[in-house]
Amino acid sequence: MYPPISVSTARPEDALAISAFAYDIWHTTYGTPPHPAGLIDYMLDTFQSPAAISQDMTGRGRRYSIAELDGAVIGYTAGYVDGDDLVLSKLYVDPSQQGSGLGRTLLNRVIAEMGGGCSQVRLTCDRLNAVALAFYARMGFVNQGQVEIDVGNGYICKDYLLAMPLTGAVAALDIKAVIFDMDGLLFDTEQLYLRAWVPVGEAMGLSNAVEVARLTIGIGYEESEEIFQAHYGPAFRMEQALPIMSQWIERYITEHGMPSMPFARELVQLLHGKGFPLAIGSSNLRAVAVAFLEAAGLLQYFTAIVTGDVVEYAKPAPDIFLRAARELGFPPERCLVLDDSPIGILAAHRAGCIPAMIPDLLPPTDETYGQLWRKFSSLEQIPLALF
C-alpha cells in the first residue's frame, strides 16, 4: 500500500525543487554508457536547471505538474500544445515509485489538463531507455520511428518518436450514453443567476449577495440555502429569494432569448443523431430545466431529466448522475458526463461515470484534475475526442 501522493500544478517558485529532483535521478536513469561523455551534465544544465525550468513556465508556455510525497518531489511533467498535438516534453518519476501508478497518474493529468482539442499526444524518448519505452507502450503509445535531435554543443540525442491518439474515445472507453449538466454547460445561465442576485439582495437587504451566490455554483437547493443561512442567519429562506430571481430571469429571457452556449445545440443534435441516449443531470429544479430546454428547443432530444429536487442529495453527491445513468439504461462507467464545475465533476467521479469538464465560471482545481477524464475549452472540441 503506497502512502498518499499529491499532484498539483507547479509554479515558478517550484523550479528549484524540480531541478534538484532532476539532478538526483538523471544520472541514475541516463548516466551509463554508451551516452557520450558530458551529455547528461550538459542536458541538466541546459534544460533542467532552475533558470531553464522557470523560463519554460513563464516565457515558453510550458505547463508543469509536480508530484510530492511528504513534501519531497517524486515526479514531474511538462507539456504544451503544438497545433493539433499535445507535446509531452518531460515526464520523470522517482525510481522508487515505479509500479505505484504514479507515471500513469502524471500522464493522465497532462492529458486531462491540456489534451482537449488535440488529436494526439507525442513525445521523444531515449532509444536506450528500455524502462521508459516499455511504460509508454503499456500506455498505448506507438513507435513512429527514429529521430535525431541536435541539442547544441555538438551533442545529438538519438530518440524514438512516440505518439498516442486522443481521438476515438467512444470506442476506446465504450461510451454508450451522454449526460449533460445544464447551467453553465448548455446555457449561459450561471452569469444570469449571479446577476439576478442583485435585485434579490436589494429586496431582502442582503449585502454581497452575488459573492455569496458564487459559493453555490453547481450545488442543489437545500445546500445553497445552508450557505446563505451561514452568511445571513437562520431566518434566510431560499423560497423568498426564488420568486425575485425567477421574475428577473424570465424577463431577461423574454427580452433577449435563451442564452445558449456556443455549439450546445449542434453537439446535442450530433450525439442524438448518432444514436446516443441523452440525459440532463442538473442541480437546478426540474420545472426550471424543462422550461429552459423548451425555450431553447432542445427538450425533445433528452430521454431523461434528473434534477436536484428529485433525488435525496444533489451534487457533489453522485445521486443525480446515478439516477440519470439508470434511467438511460446503462451502467455509470459507460456514461460520459459533461459538466462545467468542479462540484459537478466530483459528483460524476463519485458516480463512476466518465467526467469531462468544460469550465465556465469556476476553473478546475488540482483535485478536479485527479477526477476528470479530460478538460475542454469549448463544446466544439468534444466531437474530435469522441469519434
- CA-to-CA distance for 90 and 103, rounded, in angstroms? 11
Sign of CA dihedral 370, 371, 376, 381: positive
**Mean pLDDT, to the nearest integer, of 225-241?**
93
- CA-to-CA distance for 17 and 13, rounded, in angstroms? 8
Residues forming a β-bridge with 345: none
HSE-CB of 7 using CA atoms within 13 angstroms: 24
- Say how far residue 80 (Cα) sits from the centre of its chain: 16
What is 171-188+259-386's CATH number? 3.40.50.1000
Residues forming a β-bridge with 80: 87
What is 6-166's CATH number? 3.40.630.30
Domain range annotation of the chain? 6-166, 171-188+259-386, 190-256
User: Is the confidence at residue 1, as pLDDT, over 60?
Assistant: no
What is the pLDDT of the chain when averaged over all its residues? 94
- CA-to-CA distance for 325 and 331, rounded, in angstroms? 6
Cβ neighbors of 22 (< 8 A, separation 6 or more) are 44, 48, 76, 92
Helix (DSSP H) and strand (DSSP E) numbers for the chain: 16, 13
* 117-176 pLDDT, tens digit each: 999 999 999 998 999 999 999 999 999 999 999 999 999 999 999 999 999 999 999 999
* 23-48 pLDDT, tens digit each: 999 887 776 667 787 888 999 999 99
Rounded CA Rg of the chain:
24
User: Is the confidence at residue 2, as pLDDT, over 60?
Assistant: no
User: Is the confidence at residue 375, as pLDDT, over 80?
Assistant: yes
- CA-to-CA distance for 178 and 280, rounded, in angstroms? 9
Which pLDDT belongs to residue 28? 77
- CA-to-CA distance for 128 and 32, rounded, in angstroms? 10
Give the whole-number percent of the chain exceeding pLDDT 90: 87
Which pLDDT belongs to residue 255? 92
pLDDT-wise least confident of 61-75, 172-186, 205-219, 315-329: 205-219
The pLDDT confidence band at residue 101, using thresholds 50, 70 and 90, is very high
Which of these, 190, 120, 198, 189, lies nearest to 161 by C-alpha position? 120
Which pLDDT belongs to residue 36? 80
User: Is the confidence at residue 180, as pLDDT, over 80?
Assistant: yes
pLDDT-wise least confident of 102-106, 215-219, 257-261, 335-339: 215-219
Which pLDDT belongs to residue 199? 92
